[in-house]
Amino acid sequence: MNNNSQFGRTNTRETPEFDERIIALDRVTRVVKGGRRFRFRATAVVGDGKGKVGIGVGKGKDAPASIQKAIARGKKAMVQFELKGTTIPHEVQVSSGGAVVFMKPARPGTGVIAGGAVRAVLEAAGVKDVLTKSLGSTNKINNSYATIEALGQLKGLPKVTKESK
């Protein structure tokens, strides 16, 4: 017997609508006359696992507040793209800031061959098989923005229509 059922509560957990991942959580320091002021900056990726993903950056006085802001901004700034099975439809290379991200479709079973922020964005988006290379910057925020821009540039598969005779 479930322990919570005697109090009229059921133990049902809802599955979350979005996959939320924290890419970076940084403590930022500002020096003022009286000493140092500490704040936090969080970078989060939010995706539905079906071709929709967004990035958000939030700042706050404590870590949980900055994480909540980053997730909320990520949900507002979502990009949708078409998947071809479990991979992307074609090759794409994008530069954003100093970061250059190259993505190439892969065969089923390959997995996500990517590192750091690029991997987090692709997994949250629902891409299962892809080859990537991150060139230039090692900055997580710039790499994640370049990945989002690359996913936004993907062209969908051509739609097949029946011709009537």
SS3 label, residue 130: strand
| Chain segment 124-142, per-residue pLDDT in tens | 999 999 999 999 989 999 9
SS3 at position 152: helix
As a residue count, the chain comes to 165
**98 and 145 share a domain?**
yes
Number of domains in the chain: 2
**What is residue 42's three-state secondary structure?**
strand
CATH code of the domain containing 100: 3.30.230.10
Q: Is position 8 within any domain?
A: no
User: Is there a single domain that holds both residue 37 and residue 87?
Assistant: no
| E strand segments, the chain | 19-32, 35-47, 52-60, 78-80, 92-96, 99-105, 112-113, 130-136
For residue 141, tell me if it sits in a domain: yes
Q: How many helices (H) and strands (E) does the chain have?
A: 3, 8
List, for residues 72-120, the tens digit of each pLDDT value.
999 999 999 988 989 999 999 999 889 999 999 999 999 999 988 999 9
Residue 14 lies in a domain: no
Residue 92 CA neighbour count, 13 Å, CB half: 19
Regarding whether 71 and 88 lie in a shared domain, the answer is: no
Q: Is residue 164 included in any domain, yes or no?
A: no
For position 155, what pLDDT does the model report? 78
Instruction: Provide the domain limits for residue 67.
Output: 19-79
**pLDDT higher than threshold 50 for residue 165:** no
Instruction: Give the tokens for residue 92.
Output: 């794409």
For the stretch 22-75, pLDDT in tens is 999 999 999 999 999 999 999 999 999 898 999 999 999 999 999 999 999 999
Query: How many Cβ atoms are within 10 Å of 33's Cβ, its own excluded?
Result: 4
Residues 59 and 35 in one domain: yes
End position of a domain, from candidates 79, 102, 118: 79
**Which pLDDT score is estimated for 13?**
54
Q: Which residue has the tokens 């909540």?
A: 68
Evaluate whether 89 touches 105 at the Cβ level (below 8 Å).
yes
87 and 146, same structural domain? yes
Residue 93 maps to a domain: yes
Whether residues 116 and 137 share a domain: the answer is yes
Q: In whole angstroms, what is the distance from residue 116 CA to residue 77 CA?
A: 21
pLDDT score recorded for residue 164: 47
pLDDT confidence of residue 15: 53
The answer, yes or no, to whether residue 1 has pLDDT greater than 60, is: no
**DSSP-based three-state secondary structure for 24:** strand
pLDDT band at 18 (very low <50, low <70, confident <90, very high): confident
Q: Is residue 165 part of a domain?
A: no
* 129 vs 112: CA distance, rounded Å: 5
Judge whether residue 150 has pLDDT over 60.
Answer: yes
